[in-house]
Amino acid sequence: MLRCRLRSVWVLAVALALWTNAGRAQTAPSAAPAAPAVPAAQPEGAVSLEQRIDQMSREIEAQKAAREAERSAAAAEKAALEERLQKIEAQAAEAQAQSELAGIMEGAEEELTPEPLVRVYGFADVGLQRTWGPIASAAPSGPSKTTFVLGNVNLYFDANPVQDWRFLTEVRFGLFPHGAIDRSTSGVAPAINTTIGDDSSPSGGFTTINWNGVILERAHIDWEPSDEISVRAGLFLTPFGIYNVDHGSPTRISLEAPLMITTEMFPTRQVGVEAFGRFQALPWTLGYHLYVSNGRQPGQLDYADDKAIGTRLWAQTRRPIPMTFGVSGYTGRYEQVDKVYSLEPGGGFHVEEDESLAYREHAIAADASLDIDALRLRTEGFLRWQLFEDGKRPSTFPGTYEADKLYGGAYLLAAYRLPWLGLEPLLQFDLLRVGTLFGEYFARSSVGLNIYFDPAVVLRLNYFYTRAFDLEGPSRELNHDNFNAVASRLSIAF
């Protein structure tokens, strides 16, 4: 339409120009015939009006065509996006349907195939070790020579027969006590011999075997109705610190347990009732343990009505770094009771329980665990008071009796997981105030290397140096004042 208007304007302009020239020719005076008109030459590069109009028309048409192409491309892109969206929605619907179907099938499978009532798992370790030094030679058992050892063979039997109810027992098998030193005697300590005849052997009784030991690490029944409160009854590991509960060789960072664990400043395990639970106070998790037990006893029975009590409180978070802090406490009474039988004049007899040894103990401890990227830090400290009752003190040498004691100690462990080959070097330092014939204090430094072939398979290598010394009391010449050890354990969890 624009082109038609432009052409009309051009035609009118030409007609007006012709009409004007014709009027001028009629009114002008006559003159001699003019020479034939010669068209005037246009300047070079000049464009006529019609050419300009044509050029503008072509540009307008080109712009219209470009806009039409853009609209067509946009429409095509929109159609492609809508088609893609439809495909995505269809795939999502199909995935959701498959997930719902899988959930239904899983639920049906769970209903048809219930979980096993008893699960069995555990860990084992073997190694090579050697000890030397004056204290090592005076140790009541164990050779100071290089020897292969079977460390732990521990099996867990974990049963859930009823909802919210659980029974867990941990049993350790070993080659002891055959060949171990009998520590119940004084002077010459003979080796224990458990060699017996295998009467069930078809060889006619000529076959011999060594019966081996079994240690019940724990055995308890748990009622767990909620995270906030649960109840445990039976033989349980005393909840204090870091190492006592996580005592398995695959979970320990250092091969050797801290001195406060090996000297049992807290009872390792107890028979009683324990309440425990945890609460969420984001970003923290707060937990507690509270128990009543027989306490530290020579056996599982308690010969006094004075029960032991203990507790542990802990707080854990993962922000800004994984860390755990805890405090523990324990108080109880220990006694050794002998039954004395005597005849009465009337023909009957009299039974009297004689406490030959008795003391009360109080212990407190604190622990901290921090993981800073690949660096793992662990520390624990404790204090323990041992207060003997009059007339019931032990005698180490004739005419001498044990005094009340204050024990104390702490350790610091640092391990760093390298980014290659599963290597984790570590350093540990222990200090223990215990008061023995070897010395009043023990300081131990250790260096080690853990090699993780897999999270379930670990090789641990450690060297320990222990030094005994005095800081208080009369000066003594300690001729048994140091102990060295190298040890390795290859452990596997299953």
The reported pLDDT for the residue numbered 28 is: 40
Assess if residue 331 is contained within a domain: yes
Residue-wise pLDDT for 396-412, tens only, equals 777 778 889 999 999 99
Name the nearest CA neighbour of 154 among 185, 196, 189, 121: 121
Assess if residue 21 is contained within a domain: no
Q: Give the separation between CA 73 and CA 67, rounded to whole angstroms.
A: 10
- Pairing type for strands 457-469 and 482-493 reads antiparallel
Assess if residue 198 is contained within a domain: no
Assess if residue 364 is contained within a domain: yes
Assess if residue 254 is contained within a domain: yes
Q: Indicate yes or no: pTM above 0.85.
A: no
The answer to whether 439 and 231 have CB atoms below 8 angstroms apart is: no
Q: Give the separation between CA 207 and CA 443, rounded to whole angstroms.
A: 48
Which CATH number is 448's domain given? 2.40.160.10
- Pairing type for strands 323-343 and 482-493 reads unpaired
Assess if residue 467 is contained within a domain: yes
Number of H helices, E strands in the chain: 4, 18
Q: Give the separation between CA 328 and CA 387, rounded to whole angstroms.
A: 20
Assess if residue 405 is contained within a domain: yes
Assess if residue 328 is contained within a domain: yes
Name the nearest CA neighbour of 157 among 115, 117, 116, 119: 119
Q: Give the separation between CA 494 and CA 454, rounded to whole angstroms.
A: 12
Q: How far is CA 213 from CA 10, 128, 177, 493, in A?
A: 122, 21, 6, 21
Residues of the domain holding 230:
117-174+213-493
The reported pLDDT for the residue numbered 36 is: 42
Please give the tally of structural domains in the chain.
Answer: 1
Residue-wise pLDDT for 167-192, tens only, equals 999 999 999 888 777 766 655 667 88
Give me Rg for the CA atoms of the chain: 47
Where the chain has pLDDT below 70, the residues are 1-47, 101, 103-115, 140-143, 183-189, 204-205
How would DSSP label each residue in 292-353? Answer: EE--S-SSS--SSS--EEEEEEEEEE-SSS-EEEEEEEEEEEEEEEEEEEEE-TTS-EEEEE
Q: Give the separation between CA 448 and CA 71, rounded to whole angstroms.
A: 73
